[in-house]
């Protein structure tokens, strides 16, 4: 990568200001910072997953479904069925 001098940096900044406008530059910088922060946390999460043990017995099965409590309506319907027959 070539070395950028002061004149080249000033020209690049002037072009950016002309393209986006001075009012939008802080918004652009904020958005870029947030995107970079999110990207870094996702990459860190991926590397943390690789560091964990890959033992299959320790991970929950994809087939298992979480148990949810019955709703009141379901219980009442089951009780009504038992009473009827």
How many Å apart are CA 5 and CA 15, to the nearest integer? 16
Full-model pTM? 0.41
How many Å apart are CA 23 and CA 32, to the nearest integer? 15
Pick the more confident residue, 5 or 47.
5
Residue extents of the structural domains in the chain: 22-52
Residues 83 and 75 sit within 8 Å (Cβ to Cβ):
no
Give pLDDT tens digits for 22-75. 888 888 889 999 999 999 999 988 887 766 655 445 555 555 555 555 667 777
In this predicted structure, the answer to whether residue 8 has a pLDDT above a threshold of 90 is yes
Pick the more confident residue, 66 or 17.
17
């Amino acid at each position: 990568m070539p070395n950028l001098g002061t004149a080249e940096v000033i020209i690049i900044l002037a072009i950016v200001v002309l393209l986006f406008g001075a009012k939008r530059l802080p918004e652009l910088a904020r958005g870029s910072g947030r995107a970079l922060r999110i990207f870094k946390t996702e990459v860190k999460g991926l590397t943390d997953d690789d560091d964990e043990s890959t033992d299959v017995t320790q991970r929950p099965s994809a087939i298992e479904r979480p148990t949810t409590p019955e709703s009141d309506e379901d219980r009442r319907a089951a009780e009504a069925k038992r009473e009827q027959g």
